């Protein structure tokens, strides 16, 4: 099928007759790439400025962007059904999704992966090969881009590498060892830290009769991992190595049918050890997401950060004052990407730990690490094993996993560092009131709700007709809560539990700073300090809170 827009390689626009459409200089091509990566979605001017300039954007960035957009509009004007639309401080490239080669790549990869899962290796190989054939190289060739777009392109490169690995797995199952070996060697020459690719290469070489080559490949993998990351190969790679060395019987870890190729005198086919570790428990610890007013940009930014891949686990830190909605955002983003982490999701609320005193941080970290190891099916360390050794064991256990970890309510970076996994395909979300000094972390600021978002949340916890009947009182409640979701949630729950109060009555109590306004027993609380004093004489009133427990009716305190 003809693809007008091609970004699986140097970005280019191709007419149906094969003629290339001139797309201008490097910055103009980078803008086109940014719009195509977000096809049919508005892209803000701020994001485009960060994406196009490697360093700080110049003062003329906005004027330059408008100039590039106008030039692109002229270049694409001869293409039917293609439009660059301008919105409020954003641009959107509109075109049929099937005209973009990335769409075809993702659809072919999805179909091939589904066939691989159900054991149809022939269909899997065909579908995945179709996806691979669309790949022409890295999209940033011939363009210059900043960090946000570089992260998107790195994630796209990771998708391609996974497709190559899936295709190799299908080819090994079909007995096509030479093709699998060639593709895996090419991939590993570019990305030598992909343990799954090394394991597949070892299987392909061994099943083709080259046991020495398979053992040599293990040595190469170990050399790269130790030199680059300071870690030993993961459990799955070690298991394949041991099976090749001793031809020890292994129980199958995947329900997929296998090619019964035997290893010398060993009656057990080697490919029974491949695939996911089926006997290992898969933790699913994410709490149920709370009621959430959609923050599309914030969720999209967080998900994009979680999807980026590099040489280390991606770490995303959500920062903001207490009650601003960091935990809700973290959980929403974690649930949105959890399918990308089939080896499990771990969660811990650091703010609820009983021993938060600074004199005992190592005890808490050790207990958390012990829990993580147990959840992953690893041996629980003996009581005399210290925190450093527990952290090392956790890094070793996660080196070859696709794991998501949520650390909620972190108070300092020292608490977080021992808990970070080592696998490059792992991701971590940290929420904190403070900006944490963590290497390779991406920091995202969580801002208070807008007035409209705050009104939506209040309506979700009460009744829309109540808000409609008393719009002025509802707006006053929202105004006095200063856009803090935590405070709005508690007031909404109060209205839900005490419908006799009504919106007007609650607004009046807030206005007068009445002590009769309280949190019903049993409701959780999480409110921050009072906002700055207003100049108009009205004071935002905050519900008092004690972390970790509910408040009795008499404990509500207005702001002084």
- Is the whole model's pTM more than 0.75, yes or no? no
The answer on pLDDT for 544 being more than 90 is no
Indicate the pLDDT class of residue 425, thresholds 50, 70 and 90.
confident
34 contact partners, CB below 8 Å, separation of at least 6: 43, 47, 48, 51, 52, 145, 149
Q: What is the pLDDT averaged over residues 503-525?
A: 54
Residue 344 or 514, more confident: 344
Residue 474 or 217, more confident: 217
Residue 294 or 240, more confident: 240
State percent of the chain over pLDDT 70.
70
Tens digits of per-residue pLDDT, 436-459? 888 878 888 887 766 666 666 666
The answer on pLDDT for 522 being more than 50 is no
Contact criterion met (CB below 8 Å) for 454 and 483: yes
Q: What angle do CA 530, 536, 541 make, to 5 degrees?
A: 30
3 state DSSP class of 498: coil
Contact criterion met (CB below 8 Å) for 218 and 202: yes
Residue 463 or 184, more confident: 184
User: How many CA atoms are closer than 13 Å to the CA of 107, on its beta-carbon side?
Assistant: 8
pLDDT at residue number 305: 73
- Looking at the DSSP bridge assignments, the partners of residue 429 are 316, 406
Tens digits of per-residue pLDDT, 268-308? 345 443 333 445 678 888 887 665 445 556 667 777 777 67
Indicate the pLDDT class of residue 252, thresholds 50, 70 and 90.
very low
Please provide the DSSP assignment of 204-240 as one string.
Answer: HHHHTT-HHHHHHHHHHHHHHHHHHHS----HHHHHH
The answer on pLDDT for 127 being more than 70 is yes
217 contact partners, CB below 8 Å, separation of at least 6: 198, 201, 202, 205
Using alpha carbons, list the distances in angstroms from residue 259 to 32, 174, 468.
46, 7, 66
Tens digits of per-residue pLDDT, 318-337? 998 877 778 888 888 888 88
Q: Which residue has the tokens 């979605």?
A: 41
Indicate the pLDDT class of residue 109, thresholds 50, 70 and 90.
very high
Task: Give dist(CA 371, CA 377) in Å, integer.
Answer: 10
Tens digits of per-residue pLDDT, 191-231? 899 999 999 999 999 988 888 889 999 999 999 888 888 88
Q: What is the pLDDT averaged over residues 466-493?
A: 68
3 state DSSP class of 367: helix
Domains and CATH numbers, the chain: 5-100 (1.10.10.10), 102-139+148-251 (1.25.40.10), 296-445 (3.40.50.300), 451-555 (no CATH)
pLDDT at residue number 515: 44
Residue 513 or 42, more confident: 42
Indicate the pLDDT class of residue 251, thresholds 50, 70 and 90.
very low
Tens digits of per-residue pLDDT, 73-90? 999 988 888 999 988 788
Task: Give dist(CA 319, CA 119) in Å, integer.
Answer: 44
Task: Give dist(CA 401, CA 235) in Å, integer.
Answer: 9
pLDDT at residue number 553: 30
Indicate the pLDDT class of residue 523, thresholds 50, 70 and 90.
very low
Q: In this predicted structure, which of 57-61, 96-100, 410-414, 527-531 has the lowest mean pLDDT?
A: 527-531
Task: Give dist(CA 448, CA 324) in Å, integer.
Answer: 5
Task: Give dist(CA 160, CA 164) in Å, integer.
Answer: 6
Q: In this predicted structure, which of 128-132, 449-453, 547-551 has the lowest mean pLDDT?
A: 547-551
As a whole number, the mean pLDDT across the chain is 76
Task: Give dist(CA 398, CA 237) in Å, integer.
Answer: 12
The answer on pLDDT for 152 being more than 80 is yes
Q: What is the pLDDT averaged over residues 16-44?
A: 89
pLDDT at residue number 393: 92
Tens digits of per-residue pLDDT, 349-371? 887 544 444 433 434 688 889 88
pLDDT at residue number 84: 92
Indicate the pLDDT class of residue 484, thresholds 50, 70 and 90.
low
Task: Give dist(CA 165, CA 152) in Å, integer.
Answer: 20
pLDDT at residue number 467: 66
Q: Which residues of 184-221 are buried (b: 16+ CB within 10 A; e: fewer)?
A: beebbeebbbbbbbbbbbbbbbbbbebbeebeebbeeb
């Amino acid at each position: 099928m003809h693809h007008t827009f091609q970004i699986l390689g140097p970005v280019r626009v191709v007419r149906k007759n094969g003629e290339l459409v001139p797309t201008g200089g490097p910055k103009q091509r980078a803008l086109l790439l940014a719009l195509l990566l977000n096809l049919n979605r508005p892209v803000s001017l701020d994001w485009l400025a960060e994406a196009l300039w490697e360093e700080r954007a110049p003062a003329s960035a906005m004027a330059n962007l408008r100039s590039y957009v106008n030039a692109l509009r002229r270049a694409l004007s001869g293409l039917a059904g293609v439009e660059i639309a301008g919105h409020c401080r954003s641009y959107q490239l509109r075109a049929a999704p099937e005209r973009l080669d990335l769409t075809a790549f993702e659809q072919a990869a999805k179909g091939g992966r589904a066939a691989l899962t159900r054991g149809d290796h022939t269909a899997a190989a065909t579908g995945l090969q179709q996806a691979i054939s669309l790949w022409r190289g890295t999209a940033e060739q011939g363009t210059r881009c900043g960090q946000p777009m570089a992260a998107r392109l790195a994630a796209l490169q990771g998708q391609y590498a996974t497709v190559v690995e899936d295709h190799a797995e299908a080819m090994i199952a079909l007995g096509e060892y030479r093709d699998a070996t060639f593709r895996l060697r090419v991939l590993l020459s570019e990305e030598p830290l992909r343990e799954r690719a090394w394991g597949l290469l070892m299987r392909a070489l061994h099943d083709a009769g080259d046991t020495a080559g398979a053992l040599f490949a293990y040595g190469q993998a170990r050399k790269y991992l130790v030199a680059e990351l300071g870690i030993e190969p993961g459990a799955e790679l070690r298991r394949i190595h041991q099976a090749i060395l001793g031809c020890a019987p292994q129980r199958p870890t995947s329900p997929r049918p296998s090619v019964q190729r035997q290893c010398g005198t060993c009656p057990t086919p080697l490919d029974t050890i491949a695939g996911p570790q089926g006997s290992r428990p898969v933790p699913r610890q994410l709490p149920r997401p709370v009621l959430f007013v959609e923050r599309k940009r914030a969720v999209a930014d967080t998900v994009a950060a979680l999807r980026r891949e590099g040489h280390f686990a991606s770490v995303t830190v959500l920062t903001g004052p207490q009650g601003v909605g960091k935990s809700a955002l973290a959980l929403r983003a974690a649930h949105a990407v959890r399918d990308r982490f089939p080896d499990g999701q771990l969660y811990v609320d650091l703010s609820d730990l009983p021993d938060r005193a600074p004199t005992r941080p190592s005890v808490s970290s050790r207990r958390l690490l012990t829990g993580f190891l147990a959840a992953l099916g690893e041996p629980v360390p003996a009581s005399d094993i210290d925190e450093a050794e527990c952290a090392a064991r956790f890094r070793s256990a996660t080196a070859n996993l696709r794991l998501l970890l949520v650390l909620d309510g972190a108070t300092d970076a020292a608490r977080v560092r021992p808990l970070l996994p080592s696998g490059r395909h792992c991701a971590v979300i940290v929420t904190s009131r403070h900006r944490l000094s963590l290497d390779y972390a991406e920091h995202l600021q969580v801002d208070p709700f807008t007035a409209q978002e705050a009104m939506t949340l209040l309506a979700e916890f009460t009744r829309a007709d109540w808000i409609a009947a008393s719009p002025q009182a509802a707006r006053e409640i929202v105004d006095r809560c200063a856009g803090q979701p935590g405070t709005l949630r508690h007031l909404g729950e109060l209205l839900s539990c005490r419908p006799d109060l009504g919106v007007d009555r609650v607004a009046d109590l807030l206005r007068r700073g009445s002590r009769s306004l309280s949190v019903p027993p049993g409701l959780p609380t999480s409110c921050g300090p009072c906002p700055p004093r207003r100049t108009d004489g009205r004071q935002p009133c905050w519900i008092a809170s004690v972390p970790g427990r509910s408040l009795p009716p008499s404990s509500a305190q207005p702001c002084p």
